């Protein structure tokens, strides 16, 4: 034991005799450990961020694009452009048994969208009904395309968030009609929005029952696991206060929409649960008093079964 104490005493004396060298050594060790932890944290944050971004695309996806055949010496088709046809899509769908599903995508960017409430320029994608099984495309309100739409050649559309704001400002889009380059389409669904939203910065909009929506903007970050189509419960953390977008400082930006229209959160009358009134309330209070009296007569040890059958009354309005 004395030998151990002598070693500790000699070590401390040596450190004290060379204070600057000891400080620089400990500082170098601390700096190295801190740098390592910082790099690990940055790497983990980048990885989780990439995972969230990839999750918005879908799982196990492969994209095929038209292009140009690479130049190969002696080849007669080198440098030629190639495109896909609908026949190619059908052939792959029939022959590629290892694919769970496949969808062609036709894109046009010279689209003029017009409704009864506004117009805007944009782009349109033509896809098969199976597309939402490949990509993460949550639709609320409304629905996605189905095989019946495809077989009957219905002119239906699912609109995105930007088009909704410009063409149906503050109005419900589902059930309305829209002209795309002069051709009429029925809007059957709206793609939900979670992510950067212009001046709102990092933005989340939550769907509630009966047409109610709540929106939160300028957040610094989203909660872990928060993504499009995710169900949340009351009291769950969805994001963190920040100042992203066009913001003058950190704050909570909160909005309420009813049937697609913005309303004043301080004046809105929120839906209330059903309450007893009139004769029903009187019957309830009478039965409550009877049970309280019975419980007090037993010294608080009565069983619920001692109270006898509970009679309920209902009324039609």
pLDDT at 194: 56
One domain for residues 258 and 178: no
Interior CA angle at 215 toward 212 and 216, to 5°?
155
Q: Point out the domain boundary residue: 177, 192, 207.
A: 192
Confidence of residue 157 (pLDDT cuts 50, 70, 90): very high
Whether 274 is in a domain gets the answer no
Whether 73 is in a domain gets the answer no
pLDDT(239) > 80: yes
pLDDT(66) > 90: no
Whether 311 is in a domain gets the answer no
Rounded mean pLDDT, 269-296: 80
Q: Point out the domain boundary residue: 144, 166, 192.
A: 192
Q: How many domains does the chain have?
A: 3
pLDDT(3) > 80: no
Whether 68 is in a domain gets the answer no
Rounded mean pLDDT, 48-60: 69
Confidence of residue 298 (pLDDT cuts 50, 70, 90): low
**Helix, strand, coil distribution of the chain in percent, nearest 5:** 35, 25, 40
* Cα dihedral value 45, 50, 52, 56, nearest 10: 170
pLDDT at 305: 37
Whether 86 is in a domain gets the answer yes
One domain for residues 16 and 34: yes
Whether 107 is in a domain gets the answer yes
| Rounded CA separation 149/142 (Å) | 14
Q: Which domain holds residue 14?
A: 2-57
pLDDT(306) > 50: no
One domain for residues 106 and 53: no
One domain for residues 238 and 254: yes
Confidence of residue 303 (pLDDT cuts 50, 70, 90): very low
* Cα dihedral value 91, 96, 97, 102, nearest 10: -80
Other CB atoms within 10 A of residue 129 CB: 16
| Rounded CA separation 99/62 (Å) | 10
Q: Point out the domain boundary residue: 175, 192, 209.
A: 192
Interior CA angle at 120 toward 116 and 123, to 5°?
120
One domain for residues 85 and 172: yes
Contact between 240 and 223 under an 8 Å Cβ cutoff? The reply is yes
One domain for residues 7 and 102: no
Q: What are phi and psi of 212, to 5 degrees?
A: -90, 140
Rounded mean pLDDT, 209-221: 84
Task: Tokens for 178, please give them.
Answer: 């829209």
pLDDT(181) > 60: yes
């Amino acid at each position: 034991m004395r030998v151990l104490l002598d070693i500790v005493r000699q070590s401390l004396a040596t450190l004290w005799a060379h204070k600057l060298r000891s400080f620089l050594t400990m500082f170098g060790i601390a700096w190295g450990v801190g740098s390592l932890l910082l790099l690990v944290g940055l790497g983990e944050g980048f990885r989780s961020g990439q995972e969230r971004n990839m999750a918005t695309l879908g799982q196990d996806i492969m994209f095929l694009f038209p292009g140009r055949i690479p130049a190969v010496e002696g080849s007669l088709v080198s440098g030629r452009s190639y495109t896909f046809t609908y026949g190619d899509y059908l052939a792959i769908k029939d022959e590629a048994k290892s694919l769970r599903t496949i969808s062609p995508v036709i894109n046009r960017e010279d689209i003029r969208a017009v409704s009864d409430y506004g117009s805007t320029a944009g782009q349109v994608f033509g896809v098969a009904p199976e597309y939402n099984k490949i990509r993460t495309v949550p639709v609320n309100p409304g629905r996605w395309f189905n095989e019946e739409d495809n077989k009957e050649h219905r002119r239906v559309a699912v609109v995105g968030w930007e088009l909704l704001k410009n063409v149906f400002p503050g109005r419900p889009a589902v059930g309305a009609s829209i002209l795309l380059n002069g051709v009429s389409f029925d809007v059957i669904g709206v793609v939900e929005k979670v992510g950067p939203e212009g001046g709102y910065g990092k933005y989340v909009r939550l769907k509630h029952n009966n047409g109610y929506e709540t929106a939160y903007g300028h957040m610094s970050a989203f909660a872990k696991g928060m993504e499009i189509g995710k169900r949340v419960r009351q009291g769950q953390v969805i994001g963190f206060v920040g100042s992203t977008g066009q913001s003058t400082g950190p704050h909570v930006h909160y909005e309420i929409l009813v049937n697609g229209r913005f309303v004043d959160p301080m004046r809105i009358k929120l839906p209330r649960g059903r309450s007893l009134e009139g004769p029903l309330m009187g019957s309830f209070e009478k039965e409550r008093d009877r049970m309280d009296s019975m419980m007090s007569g037993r010294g608080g040890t009565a069983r619920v079964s001692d109270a006898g059958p509970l009679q309920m009354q209902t009324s039609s309005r």
